[in-house]
């Protein structure tokens, strides 16, 4: 069940709408000082701006790291180097 909805253009990344989505919640939350508030998000929200927005709203954010992004980038470079060397 969605807790809030924000409408935007199709080319707007979800992470850019995090603050608007949290502001649009019609349900009053418990005080984050007395009841911890957890916010679980996917890797698209792993950037520092999203972390700051969540913390400003009193949430403890849980986002998997994009650890495989660097691994995949270096693997692609290695594959390209091998292909270039093979073609000589």
Q: 12-56 pLDDT, tens per residue?
A: 999 999 999 999 988 888 888 899 899 999 999 999 999 999 999
Tell me the average pLDDT across 65-71. 66
Quote the pTM value: 0.67
Reported as a single tens digit per residue, the pLDDT across 46-58 is: 999 999 999 999 9
Q: CA-CA distances (angstroms) from residue 31 to 12, 28, 36, 53, 86?
A: 31, 9, 8, 17, 62
46: in domain: yes
69: in domain: yes
8: in domain: no
pLDDT at position 76, please?
58
Domain that holds residue 20: 14-86
71: in domain: yes
56: in domain: yes
53: in domain: yes
Of residues 55 and 1, more confidence is placed in: 55
38: in domain: yes
61: in domain: yes
How many domains is the chain built from? Answer: 1
């Amino acid at each position: 069940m969605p807790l809030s909805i924000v409408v935007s253009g199709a080319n707007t990344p979800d992470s850019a709408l995090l603050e608007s989505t949290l502001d649009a919640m019609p349900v009053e939350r418990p005080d984050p000082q007395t009841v911890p508030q957890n916010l679980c998000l996917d890797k698209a929200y792993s950037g520092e701006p999203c972390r700051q927005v969540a913390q400003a709203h009193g949430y403890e954010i849980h986002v998997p790291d994009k650890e495989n992004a660097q691994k995949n980038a270096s693997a692609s470079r290695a594959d390209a180097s091998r292909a270039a060397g093979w073609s000589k």
